[in-house]
Amino acid sequence: MADSSAGLEKAPLGISAEEAKPPARSRSFSMASLTLGRARSALSVLSVFTLLSVLLFSAISSAKLHKFNKFANADRQQYLIGVGKADITGPVVEINFAGYANLDQTGSGLRQRLYSRAFIIADANNPNDRFVYLVLDTQSGDTAMRNGLLDGLKALGSEYSVYGQNNIALTGTHSHSGPGAWFNYLLPQITSLGWDKQSYQAIVNGAVLSVQRAHENLQEGYLDVGSTDISDGAINRSLWAYLNNPDEERAQYNAETDITMTLLRFQRASDGKNIGVLSWFPVHGTSMLGNNTHASGDNKGVAAWLLESAMADDPNAAEGFVAGFSQANVGDTTPNVLGAWCDDGSGQQCSLENSTCADGKSQSCHGRGPEFQALDLGVKSCHEMGRRQFAGAQSIYNSIDSSGTPVTGSSVKSFHFFQDMRYFNFTLPDGTKAQTCPAALGYSFAAGTSDWPGAFDFTQGESGNPDNPFWGVVGGLLKAPGPQQVACQQPKPILLDVGEVSTPYAWTPNIVDVQMLRVGQLVIIISPSEATTMSGRRWKAAVAKEAATFLDESPIVVLGGPANSYAHYCATPEEYDIQRYEGASTLYGRNELNAYINLTVSNMHYLLPNSTATPSQGTLPPDNRNSMISFITGVVQDSSPLGKNFGSVLVQPHPTYSIGDIVNVTFQAANPRNNLRQEQTFAAIEQQGSDGSWTQVRDDSDWFLVYTWRRTNFILGQSEVDITWETYGNAQPGTYRVKYYGDSKPLIGSISSFTGTSNSFRLS
Ligand SMILES: *[C@@H]1O[C@H](CO)[C@@H](O)[C@H](O)[C@H]1NC(C)=O
Ligand SMILES: *[C@@H]1O[C@H](CO)[C@@H](O)[C@H](O)[C@H]1NC(C)=O
Ligand SMILES: *[C@@H]1O[C@H](CO)[C@@H](O)[C@H](O)[C@H]1NC(C)=O
Ligand SMILES: *[C@@H]1O[C@H](CO)[C@@H](O)[C@H](O)[C@H]1NC(C)=O
Ligand SMILES: *[C@@H]1O[C@H](CO)[C@@H](O)[C@H](O)[C@H]1NC(C)=O
Ligand SMILES: *[C@@H]1O[C@H](CO)[C@@H](O)[C@H](O)[C@H]1NC(C)=O
Ligand SMILES: CC(=O)N[C@H]1CO[C@H](CO)[C@@H](O)[C@@H]1O
């Protein structure tokens, strides 16, 4: 049985469904009759006893076959499915992190490598109808990144020409703790001091490789959707704005954030093993605080790591199982579920209205994660919030055979086009004319949020002039908005009129990606903005209503983003009126959500089962990759003090530790920007076997193994690395040693690799 189906594991691409379809049922019958046929021909020579044995064997086989038929059931819809994962870790030191826009948050090391996870779904009868959904451990998708991915796939040759603008959805998990400086637009480059080619290329290379891997293992399989509620997975960080949505609308929901996780399981047909899952759940990637400087995938990175690790021991999971934890309508959600508190000694919660404290300012207002008392820059809270999503996903996974919904309907469709949001005119469902505006940010943008307050003296909900002269000057330099823009953006008081300036190049997108994907009754909205809870609900409801007009099954609608570009936020008009951070960051004005709904819903005919058309792509957004400004300097040189080599151990581990201790080893180091070691590791733990040999048991993917780099002499380019193993996490007793992999750059000459190895130590 296993042998006969093994050849189907990698169905060749382009093969027709009839040729490739494993004739599961008929094969089970022919196998059975073959067994019986053999039994018959053997009758004359074999004893009755042997015949009984054969019948018994046959019965066992049928039982096995019956089990096989549970997943190879001809009634189930087959698709071509593929999953792939690759390392996108960029320069983890000396580059500002993307997300908090905190100038001081410059990388100093790595807690967990960052990944791109790619999921391909194709129509088995019509394999060119396919899409690829990517989940990157990044703050968002991005136009430069997406162009890089398109270029990279093109370079792989004609086999990859099935992937293009229409069917690539590039989403970010919204982690706030990865290197930045890769954005296509200027505004998010301000705190990173510009663009960094290495940071950009690291993400692009890994994204391309993840798609390539998913493409290479494209095979026949089934899709099932399940869901569960994770009631402690997030809270609403902008309740005051949320409460401005109509009472009767809010009354339809049992929580102020969407607490349902939706999960899509990918099961291969060849042997019924699961090759991956892709889930959607909205919660900000802000468990790691704005003063953390170790790169990680934040809570979704933890969830993915935990589930992929668990699946390594699951008999129903295939090797190389990929777990994508995608972001959803994240806008006003926070993982800091204990609420926002004033760190000013008052013991008070921040004001509901403006997230301010007794001084009237937002600087001391901080959201608290479940383990905030650890005072560890969010590490333990992050693990816990990741664990909650992991547990939710695992519970769906464990019950999906009985309580999940099979995805049915053979067709796989997608559409994508670019829409210029500057004064885009459209009609609301009630017949009123509406318009969006050139991008602009309101005053509360600069206040930040309770996940990390802004550096300047603004408060959320502020409508007057700020006291802070810096922002006044920057705002003025940009351009004072004209009367048309001021009127269009009402009631937003404009701080930064970013959509009307293109010097030195565009500051934020005016042209956004409008995209949707559909497989069977699963409909996926791809949002370039961080939709708030209620925005996502309205958008999904409008899409579901339209989808129901042409689908046989009731539609399952999810929203993924921020994707393809980074178009900041999307609040409802009522939330917009409140002008907290999310409303102030709703770039295109009060009608942004309704415009997104109009643009998606009115193009859903491209998702009809019989549709062969694709929309015209519209005006392409600016590709700034060749005009970027940068003040980021490269590595000049590395050197080590006299008598020390690169990789020398400066501080050895103790001879013995107890589980729970922190092992900390310091090495003479070089700058990790010399070699990103993608698909490899900077840090490792090796365990000694009974024969004395060493085996690597932990690497950079492990949450509890931490790599910290620091410069010790700027002029001479000297540096040190600490490799820290938090054995309270997942360590087992044994004999271990620490390894450090580095690469040094001489002033003249080429970069060379080195290794450091610590003394061994005993953990018990
Ligand atoms: C990091 O930020 C948190 C939250 O504001 C604060 O409590 C903590 O003291 C900061 N830690 C360091 C090391 O700056
Ligand atoms: C939208 O309508 C307004 C008012 O009629 C007009 O000024 C504007 O040019 C229109 N926008 C576009 C993109 O055509
Ligand atoms: C979107 O706006 C256009 C232009 O006004 C209108 O014709 C169309 O009916 C609207 N579509 C939807 C789905 O509301
Ligand atoms: C919130 O900010 C607004 C505008 O600055 C102000 O009028 C209001 O009093 C503030 N509310 C609280 C509770 O601080
Ligand atoms: C596709 O199907 C829809 C609904 O069944 C029908 O209205 C439409 O004309 C069809 N389009 C094409 C191109 O066949
Ligand atoms: C590890 O050791 C280095 C060098 O002694 C020290 O600076 C650092 O704080 C230590 N880290 C931890 C987590 O103890
Ligand atoms: C479900 C949810 O999001 N609830 C929270 C909304 O926000 C308030 C104040 O921040 C919290 O107290 C709720 O628990």
Residue 413 CA, ligand 5 centroid: distance in Å: 14
Q: What is the pLDDT confidence band of residue 74, given thresholds at 50, 70 and 90? A: low
Question: Can you give the three-state secondary structure of 453-482, one letter per residue?
Answer: ECCCCCCCCCCCCCCCHHHHHHHHHHCCCC
State residue 724's pLDDT score.
98
Among the residue ranges 192-206, 444-458, 545-559, 631-645, the one predicted with the least confidence is 444-458
Residues 22/230, Cβ–Cβ less than 8 Å: no
Is the beta carbon of 553 within 6 A of some atom in ligand 4? no
**Is the pLDDT reported for residue 9 higher than 60?**
no
Torsion of CA 303, 173, 152, 181, to 10 degrees: -120
Q: Any known ligand binding at 66? A: no
State residue 28's pLDDT score.
30
Among the residue ranges 48-52, 243-247, 308-312, 412-416, the one predicted with the least confidence is 48-52
Residues 172/51, Cβ–Cβ less than 8 Å: no
Q: Which ligand is nearest to the CA of 411?
A: 5
Comparison of pLDDT for 731 and 49, the residue scoring more: 731
- CA pair distance 589, 443, nearest whole angstrom: 14
State residue 457's pLDDT score.
53
Comparison of pLDDT for 44 and 239, the residue scoring more: 239
Ligand 1 pocket test target in 292, 341, 377, 380 with most atoms within 8 Å of CB: 377
Residue 596 CA, ligand 5 centroid: distance in Å: 25
Fold that domain 649-763 belongs to in CATH: Immunoglobulin-like (2.60.40)
Q: Any known ligand binding at 546? A: no
State residue 189's pLDDT score.
85
Residue 512 CA, ligand 3 centroid: distance in Å: 18
State residue 99's pLDDT score.
93
Q: Any known ligand binding at 605? A: no
Q: What is the pLDDT of residues 709-745, one digit of tens each?
A: 999 999 999 999 999 999 999 999 999 999 999 999 9
Helix residue ranges, H only, 469-532? 469-478, 483-488
Q: For the range 467-470, what are the long-range contacts, defined as Cβ-Cβ under 8 Å and sequence gap of 24 or more?
A: none
State residue 23's pLDDT score.
32
Q: What is the pLDDT confidence band of residue 124, given thresholds at 50, 70 and 90? A: very high
In degrees, rounded to 5, the angle at the alpha carbon of residue 493 between the alpha carbons of residues 594 and 514 is 30
Nearest alpha carbon to residue 701 among 673, 721, 729: 729
Residue nearest to atom 1 of ligand 1 (CA): 291
Q: Tell me what the mean pLDDT of segment 503-530 comes to.
A: 96
Q: Tell me what the mean pLDDT of segment 577-598 comes to.
A: 98
pTM value is 0.90
What DSSP element (H or E) covers 58?
helix 48-72
The residues spanned by each domain of the chain are 6-74, 79-335+381-416+521-563, 649-763
Comparison of pLDDT for 19 and 167, the residue scoring more: 167
**Is the pLDDT reported for residue 39 higher than 60?**
no
Q: Any known ligand binding at 530? A: yes
- CA pair distance 144, 532, nearest whole angstrom: 25
State residue 11's pLDDT score.
30
Nearest alpha carbon to residue 540 among 559, 520, 527: 559
Write out residues with Cβ below 6 Å of ligand 2: 423-425, 435
Residue type, 635: V
Q: What is the pLDDT of residues 341-393, one digit of tens each?
A: 999 999 999 999 999 999 998 989 999 999 999 999 999 999 999 999 999 99
Q: Tell me what the mean pLDDT of segment 62-71 comes to.
A: 40
Share above pLDDT 90 across residues of the chain, in percent, rounded to a whole number = 82
Is the beta carbon of 338 within 6 A of some atom in ligand 5? no
Among the residue ranges 173-182, 626-635, 664-673, the one predicted with the least confidence is 626-635
Q: Which ligand is nearest to the CA of 664?
A: 6
Q: What is the pLDDT of residues 281-296, one digit of tens each?
A: 999 999 999 999 999 9
State residue 102's pLDDT score.
84
Q: What is the pLDDT of residues 393-433, one digit of tens each?
A: 999 999 999 999 999 999 999 999 999 999 999 999 999 99
- CA pair distance 14, 161, nearest whole angstrom: 13
Comparison of pLDDT for 65 and 255, the residue scoring more: 255
Q: Helices 379-403 and 298-311: crossing angle, nearest 10°? A: 50
Q: In b/e form, how buried is each residue of 522-547, taking b as 16+ CB within 10 angstroms?
A: bbbbbbbbbbbbbbbbbbbebbbebb
Task: Estimate the share of the chain in helix, then strand, then coil, as percent rounded to the nearest 5.
Answer: 30, 30, 45
Residue 478 CA, ligand 2 centroid: distance in Å: 24
Q: Tell me what the mean pLDDT of segment 51-61 comes to.
A: 43
State residue 705's pLDDT score.
98
Residues 175/114, Cβ–Cβ less than 8 Å: yes
* Closest approach atom of ligand 5 to CA 613: 13
- CA pair distance 35, 38, nearest whole angstrom: 5
- Beta strand pairing call for 448-449 and 452-453: antiparallel
Residue 8 CA, ligand 5 centroid: distance in Å: 34
